[in-house]
Structure 1
Amino acid sequence: MYRFVVAAIYASIFIASADTVTLSKEKYLDKCKGAWAGQMIGVCYGAPYEFRSNAKPITDPLREWTSDRIAGAIDQDDCYVELTFLKAIEDHGLGVTYEQAGKAFANTGYPLWHANHYGRENCRHGIMPPMSGHPMYNRHADDIDFQIEADLFGILCPGLPRESNRLCDVFGRIMNYGDGLYGGMFVAGMYTAAYFEDNDVRKVVEAGLACIPKESLYHQCISDVIEWHAESPDDWLAAWNKIEKKWQDDVDCAPGDPFNIDAKLNGAYIVMGLLYGNGDFAKTVEIATRCGQDADCNPSNAAGVLGCMKGFNAIEESFTGGIAAIADRKFSHTGYSFNTLLPACQRVTEDIVRRAGGTVSADAYSFAAQSPQPPATLEQWTDQKEMLAVPVAQQELNWWDPNWTLLSCGRDMQPGVRGSALGRDNVLVLHPVSESEPAAIVASFHVPAGGRPQLMIDTASDRRGDYLLKVSINNEPKIEKIVGTKGEWTTVTFDLMPYTNKDIDVRVENCANGWSYEAAYFAAIKVAN
């Protein structure tokens, strides 16, 4: 029964979707400020527990909150990434294109991971959205990334979920697809409703849910959480166990590992915080954190939505008291501070209100409240399990050097291409499959005539271990060397004079040597004079 009444419940927030509503500028600014403060508080509250409790709830006492902890928000990707999007909208207007959004993201210098990292690297290599977030090019397309940075689009669009969905479609496709995109639309949709609902968190959750296709797995997951909360409204662990049993399915970017950064699962924990927190700010961030996994991003989303519902002035000073001290500090890698992003948001919101046919007066906004409209075409990544069976995709290896092909690799120590590692940029990280089976890559080269050609391997071991490097040329073993540089770089060379003006096949293996921190780091493997 529940799944058929979501749209009706959303409409009840505005009485009727075609009705003209009025939002005072004073109320808008209070709720906008509360939304940003909530995100900052939530991410700092949960930061000590990020991925420290995977596939199990946190039941021990949590660290006591002190207002000075809010300073950590300045360097949190939960905050600074969405400010890149705000700047892109300010620069290009509400008609910002996929390519403009992609280029703005490509030009950032802050650290990124998972879908964000892949999406940015794709854009830097000319693969622009929507394909930069598509599973064909992004093995993290269902991850949490857009979900943690979509708050902005709901904050900008009070009562206008179609406008937030339109912006989510442009920016969310930089790094995500399907349920990864829907997670962002869901979060943004909750904010659009929060401007007109101060108390009923379930209404706000259901308003966000109405923004995504009901056939999607994301919709089904959140619907389950709502139903399980109704069954056990005073026992969040009962609902948590049901989520774990059904939705911790290991179909994610880290198969075989309890770590799970999937958007659906972590979206369920956002909703757990909101529903079981029931409007209490402290309880909301606590439960969203206790659910585990991405335990800083989830309370950030939950507290941001609740902060928008309540408004800044209604959040306890014990949580907001530290903001004034950092309000003029710019968020990492951005031109915005807490004090400057609020008027920036207001400027964009006023443009959005006008775009939606509304009016902006001296003290209020008036417009026809929109009913949500999910994307017309359902997107689901149906072959995720098969695609993620390969630890490092060839597309990723191509970023490092398209001449090389991966033959085998283990899953330990997060293998793949990293934007930076051990002080070098664009580094390939491999790990043996097992103690007896190495990671292996192969490539073919033409050895030039003249000079003194050499095979040059820029490599390093992990700071905590070493590995055995084996290299063969034309199926003949040539190098067998322990690399134990403790994170420092070294260049291993081999004389190629006997192969001058010939084609060679090179195989490089990362072999185990004691089975302790066996990762191999490669900055480059090339033939050079």
Structure 2
Amino acid sequence: MTPVGTEPELADRILGGWLGRIAGNMLGKPVEQGDLWTRERIDRYLRQASALPLTDYLPEPATETDGFELRPEWRQCVRGRIHGSCRDDDVDYAILGLDLLETHGFGFSTEQVGDLWLLRLPYLQTFTAERVAYRNLANGLKPPVTATYDNPYQEWIGALIRADVYGWTCPGLPHQAAALARRDAVLSHTGNGVYGAMWAAALISAAFTAPTVRQALDTALTVIPASSRLARTVRRVISLHETRLSWEETLDTATGETTGLGWIHTVPNAAVLTAGLLYGDGDFTRTIALTVRGGLDTDSNGATAGSVAGVLTGARAIPGQWKDPLEDTVRSAVFGFDCVSIDELADRTLRLAHTESR
């Protein structure tokens, strides 16, 4: 683990966060359909391809027929076929958050988040709560009504996937990171949906200074209500890990206790993410592999786990099989950012982190 003390060290950790988010997203993308691609089915697929333990991007299907079971983007996301990252909302929102902070600074308003969506983000590249909020904005509604009017997705994972940039730009300042994430999240989410964003931002921020994954998780819990279902679920996974249950047994228990919430809800995905981080124990490959094998919203969870693990290890320590195929290139639907360099995104994030630290 690289300590944060000098600019080169901080730069390496921020670049690690970007690389980790993109690689984790790409790893989980082909099997992103939690009601179909269960944990058991993912492992069966990997076992048939002789790809367990998972140490690289997913293997391509053995036959074309099998390929139709994966998401249509699989040809851009499997090992041997990757040339730069494919476009995905899990990365688009990190880019949009960076643009927000560059444009409006750390004093941005929720209304300015919405304005930037309308300006920079195509409507058809939004989903669930974000699409509802976008439509509400276009119809003239203002936050926080944009999050509540005709929105059945208020506690889904969308706000959590928008939180990374607030952690990257507030290294070691988890409460500040959480406050920024909350201001963004209330455009489209309520309750555990907002808490998920605050928790993720604080977790990434804490990863810059916490000596262990467990301590980063403990710190992140301090920014959300202890009585919330999200906090109770994260604590439950931590306690199961402490009893030395296997990863599989921990997820079996967590799955049973979150039944009925759906595969895109924040709470069960936070359980999968927490388990991946704890059992990955700071190892980048093991962390993102276990998180994606955990199922549910695989690309979102892989992205956040990769962000945390990348910050913990730094970019230099991320194995080449994850970062080399990305070719320092990001495809994005955010206007003005398609084919942007990952190094450039990290450099711009570093400049903002220095601004926040002053």
TM-score by length of 2: 0.84
1:13-52 matches, within 5 Å, as 23-52=5-34
Superposed CA deviations along residues 59-94 of structure 1, whole A, max 9, x for unmatched, are 325365356555463401110122112212211222
1:105 corresponds, among 107, 117, 126, to 117
User: Retained in 2: the 8 A contact 1:153–1:188?
Assistant: yes
The amino acid that maps onto 2:344 is: T
Q: How far is the alpha carbon of 1:206 from its aligned partner?
A: 1.4
**Considering only CA atoms, is the larger Rg found in Structure 1 or Structure 2?**
1
- Percent sequence identity is 26
Q: Go from structure 1 to structure 2 and tell me whether the alpha carbon gap of 1:23 and 1:129 turns closer, same or farther (over 3 Å shift).
A: farther
Q: Give the match for residue 172 of structure 1.
A: 185
Q: Give the match for residue 285 of structure 2.
A: 282
Q: Give the match for residue 71 of structure 2.
A: none
User: Retained in 2: the 8 A contact 1:43–1:73?
Assistant: no
1:350 corresponds, among 331, 343, 354, to 354
Q: Give the match for residue 187 of structure 1.
A: 200
Q: Go from structure 1 to structure 2 and tell me whether the alpha carbon gap of 1:174 and 1:73 turns closer, same or farther (over 3 Å shift).
A: farther
| Larger fraction in helix | 2
Q: Could you tell me how far apart the structure 2 residues matched to 1:267 and 1:81 are?
A: 19
Q: How far is the alpha carbon of 1:22 from its aligned partner?
A: 7.0
Q: Give the match for residue 243 of structure 1.
A: 254
1:83-122 matches, within 5 Å, as 83-107=95-119, 108-109=121-122, 111-122=125-136
Q: How far is the alpha carbon of 1:163 from its aligned partner?
A: 1.6
Q: Give the match for residue 231 of structure 1.
A: 243
Q: Could you tell me how far apart the structure 1 residues matched to 2:177 and 2:289 are?
A: 28
Superposed CA deviations along residues 189-235 of structure 1, whole A, max 9, x for unmatched, are 1111111135x1111111211211101111001111101111234x1
Q: Give the match for residue 345 of structure 2.
A: 341
1:456-475 matches, within 5 Å, as none
1:212 aligns with 2:224: yes
Q: Could you tell me how far apart the structure 2 residues matched to 1:27 and 1:174 are?
A: 34
Q: How far is the alpha carbon of 1:271 from its aligned partner?
A: 0.8
| Secondary structure of 2:5's aligned partner | strand
User: Retained in 2: the 8 A contact 1:97–1:170?
Assistant: yes
Q: How far is the alpha carbon of 1:331 from its aligned partner?
A: 2.7
Q: Go from structure 1 to structure 2 and tell me whether the alpha carbon gap of 1:75 and 1:329 turns closer, same or farther (over 3 Å shift).
A: closer
User: Retained in 1: the 8 A contact 2:4–2:209?
Assistant: no
Q: Could you tell me how far apart the structure 1 residues matched to 2:264 and 2:84 are?
A: 22
Q: Could you tell me how far apart the structure 1 residues matched to 2:174 and 2:318 are?
A: 25
User: Retained in 2: the 8 A contact 1:73–1:79?
Assistant: no
Query: How many residues matched?
Result: 321
Q: Could you tell me how far apart the structure 2 residues matched to 1:69 and 1:270 are?
A: 27
Q: Go from structure 1 to structure 2 and tell me whether the alpha carbon gap of 1:269 and 1:75 turns closer, same or farther (over 3 Å shift).
A: same
Q: Give the match for residue 202 of structure 1.
A: 214
User: Retained in 2: the 8 A contact 1:148–1:301?
Assistant: yes
Gaps in structure 2 of 5+ consecutive residues: 58-78
| Secondary structure of 1:144's aligned partner | coil
Q: How far is the alpha carbon of 1:54 from its aligned partner?
A: 5.6
Q: Go from structure 1 to structure 2 and tell me whether the alpha carbon gap of 1:215 and 1:308 turns closer, same or farther (over 3 Å shift).
A: same
RMSD of the TM alignment (CA)?
A: 2.1
Gaps in structure 1 of 5+ consecutive residues: 1-20, 253-258, 355-529
Q: Go from structure 1 to structure 2 and tell me whether the alpha carbon gap of 1:151 and 1:70 turns closer, same or farther (over 3 Å shift).
A: farther
Superposed CA deviations along residues 72-126 of structure 1, whole A, max 9, x for unmatched, are 6340111012211221221122211121111111232151111111111111112
Q: Which region of structure 1 is more displaced relative to structure 2, 286-295 or 263-272? A: 286-295
Q: Could you tell me how far apart the structure 2 residues matched to 1:55 and 1:210 are?
A: 31
2:92 corresponds, among 69, 80, 103, to 80
